[in-house]
């Protein structure tokens, strides 16, 4: 066709030249034919023109069930023709017809696909983007040589985890190893790292307590003669730790590793971990053979009170200082004298988290109770079995619960599951950084980094399980969620 058009244009030019530029009938016919061929070429180009999609992006790659995000398609036509946009989704719904639309997620967790078809009236092109609905998105995972503890996060974002092969690992927020150090703490004795306000990491187990500098060098180690529980940090920086067979509670100088004082407590096995109350006193559980005991000591090692309660050994501290003990049931204890304010018979395991007057914990379900009265706010049936893990609270009305092999994100106001993430083996308690990345260890040997949502930043590098500090929320909340750390067995 191009060759025919070129020939006609040449003939038209020659004829005009030969007639001295005088227009004749034949010349008009040639010009008409030329125009017809030009129109045909244009139509042929248009018929073969296909829109080009430059990009299709979602404002978020994961969204809670029932949540709303925007999706944008950037496209152009090679001939500059106007474009029309048609949208569809395999689940959920799309609102709008232009280059940017809103997508409303379905009410159940799944992976959804949003598709945009761009047309110029003759031809069309399509592109799609995946959106994870109610499913946490894996950023990366870090492989260790053994089952992984609950993470602790430093002020610079470094993640510290202990693995059951005896190594303490320091990992960047990008999942890259900074260093690892052999501690000698190995096997099934599972303890979580704790960080003080100088960035020193403490890890206990077997017979020793280790203090490790942020550079990965060992600052000191202290032989306590028996298996040690996860240490706790006092208000003045003193380290408190118990050993689990000799039943002693130690106060330790963080600079030198020297013992300040020790006292005997009939502690209940390796799960006998202490918390630091609002008044600075140390709360610890014990076992007097027939009944478990809850004990309060001042910072000089003198016992203030004790309460005998069957199997009472994990604690959280409420805003006003009330001790929330999980002992198969839930008890609220007055920190001044050890009397019970209220109690429920709801089955509870692990440790509670307390925030804004609400208590969150796991048992046969996920639960939230009024911290002042013990009245239930909600309960949510969750799959999996509950181990000794601690919930994590967010300033975006989220609570994160690990249950067996599943990490759940719930709406803290209603208990509705927003997303979940499944692994192959048991999970530790979660921790979270200021970017909203959730970190959690597993018995499969991995540390998982999962994109969650903005959450509280724990000061002094404490992880969400550590106690003895008052976390300050990004929204300047005055309430705290000081938590007890509990043992996680690989």
pLDDT tens for each residue of 12-56: 444 444 444 444 445 666 667 666 666 665 666 666 788 989 999
Return the closest-CA partner of residue 461 out of 199, 151, 163, 149: 199
Last residue of a domain, one of 133, 161, 182: 133
Distance separating alpha carbons of residues 95 and 216, to the nearest angstrom: 53
Q: 301 and 198 in one domain?
A: yes
Q: Which domain holds residue 27?
A: 2-47
Determine the average pLDDT of the residues in 285-294.
59
Distance separating alpha carbons of residues 185 and 221, to the nearest angstrom: 11
414: left (phi over 0), alpha (psi -120 to 50) or beta: alpha
Q: Is residue 488 part of a domain?
A: no
Q: Is residue 489 part of a domain?
A: no
What is the sign, positive or negative, of the torsion defined by CA atoms of 132, 137, 139, 140? negative
Return the closest-CA partner of residue 438 out of 417, 416, 412, 419: 419
CATH of the domain at 70: 2.60.40.10
pLDDT tens for each residue of 403-435: 888 898 888 999 988 788 888 888 989 998 888
Determine the average pLDDT of the residues in 340-353.
86
Q: Is residue 231 part of a domain?
A: yes
Q: 153 and 37 in one domain?
A: no
Q: Is residue 160 part of a domain?
A: yes
Q: In sequence order, which residues have a C-beta less than 8 Å from that of residue 139 and are 6 or more positions away?
A: 175, 437, 449, 450, 451
Q: Is residue 341 part of a domain?
A: yes
Q: Is residue 21 part of a domain?
A: yes
Q: Is residue 490 part of a domain?
A: no
Q: 100 and 236 in one domain?
A: no
What's the confidence (pLDDT) of residue 467? 28
Q: Is residue 459 part of a domain?
A: yes
Confidence of residue 457 (pLDDT cuts 50, 70, 90): very low
Q: In sequence order, which residues have a C-beta less than 8 Å from that of residue 424 and are 6 or more positions away?
A: 405, 442, 444
Q: 201 and 62 in one domain?
A: no
CATH of the domain at 222: 2.130.10.10
Confidence of residue 468 (pLDDT cuts 50, 70, 90): very low
Q: 86 and 21 in one domain?
A: no
Residue 367 and residue 414 in contact, taking contact as beta carbons nearer than 8 Å? no
Task: Please work out, in degrees rounded to the nearest 5, the angle formed at the alpha carbon of residue 439 by the alpha carbons of 314 and 318.
Answer: 35
Q: 227 and 201 in one domain?
A: yes
Q: 310 and 185 in one domain?
A: yes
Last residue of a domain, one of 67, 102, 133: 133
Residue 75 and residue 100 in contact, taking contact as beta carbons nearer than 8 Å? no
Residue 329 and residue 343 in contact, taking contact as beta carbons nearer than 8 Å? yes
Q: 129 and 245 in one domain?
A: no
Q: How many independent structural domains does the chain possess?
A: 3
**pTM of the predicted model as reported, rounded to 2 decimal places:** 0.69
């Amino acid at each position: 066709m191009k060759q025919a058009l070129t020939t006609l244009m040449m003939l038209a030019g020659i004829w005009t030249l030969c007639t001295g530029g005088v227009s004749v009938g034949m010349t008009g016919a040639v010009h008409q034919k030329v125009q017809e061929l030009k129109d045909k070429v244009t139509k042929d180009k248009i018929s073969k023109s296909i829109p080009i999609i430059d990009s299709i992006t979602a404002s978020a790659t994961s969204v809670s069930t029932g949540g709303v995000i925007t999706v944008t398609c950037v496209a152009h036509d090679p001939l500059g023709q106007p474009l029309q946009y048609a949208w569809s989704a395999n689940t959920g719904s799309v609102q709008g017809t232009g280059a940017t639309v809103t997508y409303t997620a379905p009410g159940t967790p799944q992976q959804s696909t949003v598709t945009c078809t761009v047309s110029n009236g003759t031809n069309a092109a399509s592109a799609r983007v995946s959106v994870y609905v109610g499913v946490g998105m894996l950023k990366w995972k870090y492989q260790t040589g053994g089952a992984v503890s609950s993470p602790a996060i430093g002020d610079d974002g470094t993640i510290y985890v202990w693995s059951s092969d005896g190594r303490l690992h320091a990992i960047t927020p990008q999942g890259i190893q900074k260093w690892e150090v052999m501690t000698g703490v190995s096997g099934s004795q599972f303890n979580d790292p704790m960080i003080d306000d100088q960035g020193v990491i403490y890890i206990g187990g077997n017979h020793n307590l280790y203090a490790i500098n942020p550079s990965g060098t060992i600052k000191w180690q202290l032989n306590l003669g028996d298996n040690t529980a996860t240490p706790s940090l006092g208000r003045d920086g003193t380290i408190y730790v118990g050993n689990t067979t000799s039943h002693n509670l130690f106060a330790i100088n963080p600079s030198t590793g020297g013992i300040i004082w020790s006292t005997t407590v009939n502690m209940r096995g390796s799960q006998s971990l202490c918390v630091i109350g609002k008044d600075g006193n140390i709360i610890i559980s014990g076992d007097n053979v027939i009944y478990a005991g809850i004990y309060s000591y001042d910072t000089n090692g003198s016992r203030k009170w004790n309460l005998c309660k069957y199997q009472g050994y994990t604690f959280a501290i409420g805003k006003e200082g009330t001790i929330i003990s999980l002992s198969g049931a839930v008890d609220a204890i007055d920190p001044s004298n050890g009397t019970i304010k209220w109690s429920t018979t709801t089955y509870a395991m692990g440790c509670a988290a307390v925030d804004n007057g609400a208590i969150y914990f796991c048992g046969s379900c996920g639960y939230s109770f009024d911290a002042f009265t013990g009245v239930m706010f909600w309960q949510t049936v969750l799959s999996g079995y509950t181990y000794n893990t601690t919930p994590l609270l967010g300033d975006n009305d989220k609570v994160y619960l690990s249950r067996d092999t599943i990490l759940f994100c719930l709406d803290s106001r209603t208990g509705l599951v927003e997303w979940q993430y499944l692994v192959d083996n048991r999970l530790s308690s979660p921790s979270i950084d200021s970017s909203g990345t959730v970190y959690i260890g597993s018995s499969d040997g991995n540390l998982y980094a999962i994109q969650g949502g903005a959450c509280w930043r724990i000061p002094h590098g404490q992880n969400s399980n550590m106690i003895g500090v008052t976390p300050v929320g990004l929204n300047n909340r005055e309430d705290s969620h000081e938590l007890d750390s509990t043992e996680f067995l690989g």
